[in-house]
A and B are shown apart, each in its own frame.
Chain A
Amino acid sequence: MPPSEHELRLRERLGRLRNLPLLGGARLSGELERLQRQIERIGEESTDEEIWRKVELARHDDRPYTLDYVERMLDDWFELHGDRALGDDGAMIAGLGKLDGRTIVLVGQQKGRDIHERAGRRFGMPNPEGYRKAMHAMELADRHRLPVVTLVDTPGAYPGVVAEQHGQGAAIAQSQATMARLTVPIVACVIGEGGSGGAIAIALADRVLMQENAIYSVISPEGCAAILWRDAGQAKKAAAAFRPDAVHCLELGVIDEIVSEPVGGAHIDPDMAARQLGQALRESLAELDGIPGDDLRRRRRARFRSLGVFA
């Protein structure tokens, strides 16, 4: 198979960096290594079984959720609540915290651990109030020039009667529009399920990362199977057909980087997973440092406007 356009772009960037005199020192050589690693990843195409394994890992009951990372990565965490209009959605977390001494705004979906928490947080499926809470937090970040980190982990936006009455579609659109307007750096990472519109609502970022066992897709494998195969039991087949795994997303240029997890998955060693995630977030934020806000916004929009394949 010929290399994808994205792979060519990565290779070109790598070539350019290699030829630079090493003025940036450690930071630049770090980036070199990282790029090299990403290119190698593209070479490792996943088999259908591996893809399904990743779907299972992404949904694993013990997988660390947003707040598990918050408590391990951030100091002085202060959670913000409520959308200032209608309610406080437990499926969406927003708050202020310090990442390596630097104040950031963190936004992310939150699933629950036990049955009560799961119900309370609707399995990580936000209502419009959740997206409005996210927007409120991101606008706060913009006002105070704080970088934004979003952690994506949702099967999708909640498909409920009241959610529709409160404008689910518009809330998802407006959350993306808010992100397209911010003039502070935004780094998003898919840490579990990146389910459809509910995920992209908080993922219009300057850098989009994905943990190696996360999935990111337009529809759940079961949903796709139910519609196209008319049989939700064909989910494995559907997943193999649309390949929601990180390597494929990297290959298509949908994400910029794959974040390593402990061997066997993030749930095996959440502390280690949090260190790896924190490191990747810090590196991405460092890359975005010093870029003027208008440029950031322009490049962010251009990044997403370039996505798609057509003849």
Chain B
Amino acid sequence: MAKIDVSVETDDQPSPPPSHPNTCPTCHSHYRDDELERSLWVCEQCGHHFPMRARARIASLADPGSFTEEATELHSEDPLDFFDLRPYTERLAEAEMKTGLADAMVIGRAALEQRQCELAVMDFAFMGGSMGSVVGEKFSRACDSAAEAGMPVVAVTSSGGARMQEGILALMQLPKTVAAVEDLHDAGQALLCVMAHPTTGGVLASFATLGDVLLAEPNALMSFAGPRVVQEITREKLPDDFGRAEQNLRYGHIDAIVSRPELRPTLARLLRLFDAPQ
């Protein structure tokens, strides 16, 4: 019997971690913090996209001063009293300290080149961007807030999948966010999704791929099962660009690959096309 794990990995780092977070894993150029911040965490030598934190992402997309955060009061609970090598509550506390965030998603109202929208932005630094009850609830509320105000949702995803420590309730965030998207669509509003590295497992298999327009960052991993799992289970030789944005574009799963500096103007154009009210 094949023992399989199609779900989720919540390691705190995407694929092999670089020697230093400011060193480009592709061309080994090294940057100071302020240099990376200025370049939107894109390597100026080779174009590698470093992970981008949720707050920085929001600052790079929203018109200055336009962002109003919502649902800041939501915090994860520990419904299973989950304990692996360490208690879940300890992992949560540590993630909160490390990131300054309450959980792996930030939502709120923003203007993007004067177009109003609801932003839902994930942060991989918080427990691998894993989706538990709080992420599901925040995304769900973002959809309601947008539907009510009559504006689109712009979601930026970066996640290893469902949060194992919340067990079956984490899995239930898939149908929960799917139902939220359906309600948003019934209210006549659009969902624009930007998939950043990595968008895998339960997030890919729920709201991330249900956007009206699907964008991805260059080289972002977007696979349901991670490369390691596929390799272990199937013993297949993986193509070099397995699950990457470029492969997904080639196979027709996304609309465009957009580099980070182009993201804001691209989203603004889409918001104009979907005619967001002023």
| A96 interface residue per 8 A CB criterion | no
Contact of B4 among A167, A172, A216, A223 (CB under 8 A): A223
Known contacts: A169-B224, A197-B201, A217-B168. The answer to whether A177 contacts B5 by CB under 8 A is no
Mark contacts of A35-57 with chain B using CB atoms, 8 A cut-off: 1 yes-contact digit, 0 otherwise.
Answer: 00000000000000000000000
Residue contact A164 to B5, C-beta cutoff 8 Å: no
Cα of A159 to Cα of B206 in the assembled complex, Å: 17
Residue contact A204 to B205, C-beta cutoff 8 Å: no
- Chain A residues whose CB sits within 8 angstroms of the CB of B173 once the complex forms: 307-308
- Chain A residues whose CB sits within 8 angstroms of the CB of B242 once the complex forms: 161, 164
- Chain A residues whose CB sits within 8 angstroms of the CB of B233 once the complex forms: 159-160
| B10 interface residue per 8 A CB criterion | yes
Known contacts: A168-B224, A242-B168. The answer to whether A195 contacts B4 by CB under 8 A is yes
CB contacts between A and B, total, < 8 Å: 242
Residue contact A174 to B82, C-beta cutoff 8 Å: no
- Chain B residues whose CB sits within 8 angstroms of the CB of A177 once the complex forms: 178, 181-182, 210
Closest CB in chain A relative to B253 CB, distance in Å: 5
Known contacts: A160-B230, A172-B205, A304-B175. The answer to whether A309 contacts B133 by CB under 8 A is yes
- Chain A residues whose CB sits within 8 angstroms of the CB of B206 once the complex forms: 172-173, 176
| B94 interface residue per 8 A CB criterion | no
Closest CB in chain A relative to B120 CB, distance in Å: 15
Known contacts: A156-B5, A227-B10. The answer to whether A196 contacts B176 by CB under 8 A is no
Interface class of chain A by DSSP? helix
- Chain B residues whose CB sits within 8 angstroms of the CB of A198 once the complex forms: 6
- Chain A residues whose CB sits within 8 angstroms of the CB of B167 once the complex forms: 217-218, 242-244
Residue contact A301 to B251, C-beta cutoff 8 Å: no
- Chain A residues whose CB sits within 8 angstroms of the CB of B16 once the complex forms: none
Closest CB in chain B relative to A131 CB, distance in Å: 10
- Chain B residues whose CB sits within 8 angstroms of the CB of A170 once the complex forms: 204-205, 209, 253
Residue contact B222 to A308, C-beta cutoff 8 Å: no
Which residues between 220 and 267 of chain A lie within 8 Å of chain B, taking CB atoms? 220, 222-224, 226-229, 232, 238, 241-244, 248-249, 252, 254
Residue contact A218 to B7, C-beta cutoff 8 Å: yes
Give the interface centre of A173, A177, A228 by most chain B CB atoms within 10 Å: A173
| Nearest A-chain residue to B2, judged by Cβ | A123
Residue contact B6 to A157, C-beta cutoff 8 Å: yes
- Chain B residues whose CB sits within 8 angstroms of the CB of A176 once the complex forms: 174-175, 178, 206
| A135 interface residue per 8 A CB criterion | no
Known contacts: A164-B243, A242-B164. The answer to whether A310 contacts B176 by CB under 8 A is no
Residue contact B251 to A159, C-beta cutoff 8 Å: no
Known contacts: A308-B136, A310-B77. The answer to whether A160 contacts B234 by CB under 8 A is yes
| Nearest A-chain residue to B81, judged by Cβ | A241
Residue contact A309 to B77, C-beta cutoff 8 Å: yes
- Chain A residues whose CB sits within 8 angstroms of the CB of B169 once the complex forms: 252, 254, 307-309
| Nearest B-chain residue to A181, judged by Cβ | B182
| A200 interface residue per 8 A CB criterion | yes
Residue contact A197 to B136, C-beta cutoff 8 Å: no
| A19 interface residue per 8 A CB criterion | no
Residue contact B180 to A305, C-beta cutoff 8 Å: yes
| B239 interface residue per 8 A CB criterion | yes
Mark contacts of A295-311 with chain B using CB atoms, 8 A cut-off: 1 yes-contact digit, 0 otherwise.
Answer: 00000111011011111
- Chain A residues whose CB sits within 8 angstroms of the CB of B9 once the complex forms: 227
Known contacts: A164-B242, A165-B251, A241-B82. The answer to whether A155 contacts B174 by CB under 8 A is no
Closest CB in chain A relative to B9 CB, distance in Å: 6
| Nearest B-chain residue to A173, judged by Cβ | B209
| Nearest B-chain residue to A220, judged by Cβ | B5
Residue contact A197 to B174, C-beta cutoff 8 Å: yes
Cα of A249 to Cα of B77 in the assembled complex, Å: 17
| A180 interface residue per 8 A CB criterion | yes
Residue contact B5 to A219, C-beta cutoff 8 Å: yes
Cα of A298 to Cα of B69 in the assembled complex, Å: 28
| B80 interface residue per 8 A CB criterion | yes
Give the interface centre of A155, A166, A218, A219 by most chain B CB atoms within 10 Å: A218
| Nearest A-chain residue to B8, judged by Cβ | A219
Which residues between 135 and 187 of chain B lie within 8 Å of chain A, taking CB atoms? 136-137, 140, 162, 164, 166-176, 178-183
Contact of B75 among A157, A217, A244, A310 (CB under 8 A): A310
Give the interface centre of A164, A172, A201 by most chain B CB atoms within 10 Å: A164
Residue contact B180 to A310, C-beta cutoff 8 Å: no
Measuring CB to CB, which residues of chain B are less than 8 angstroms from any residue of chain A? 1-11, 74-77, 79-80, 82-85, 132-134, 136-137, 140, 162, 164, 166-176, 178-183, 200-202, 204-210, 222-225, 229-230, 233-234, 236, 238-239, 242-243, 247, 251, 253
Would you mind naming 7 contact pairs between A and B with Cβ atoms under 8 Å apart? A163-B224, A168-B205, A168-B224, A200-B171, A201-B205, A301-B182, A305-B179
Since A199-B171, A309-B166 are in contact, a sample of 20 more A-B pairs with Cβ atoms closer than 8 Å, ordered by chain A residue number, is A159-B6, A159-B233, A163-B225, A164-B225, A167-B251, A168-B223, A168-B225, A172-B224, A196-B6, A217-B168, A219-B7, A222-B3, A223-B7, A227-B11, A241-B83, A307-B169, A308-B136, A310-B76, A310-B134, A311-B75
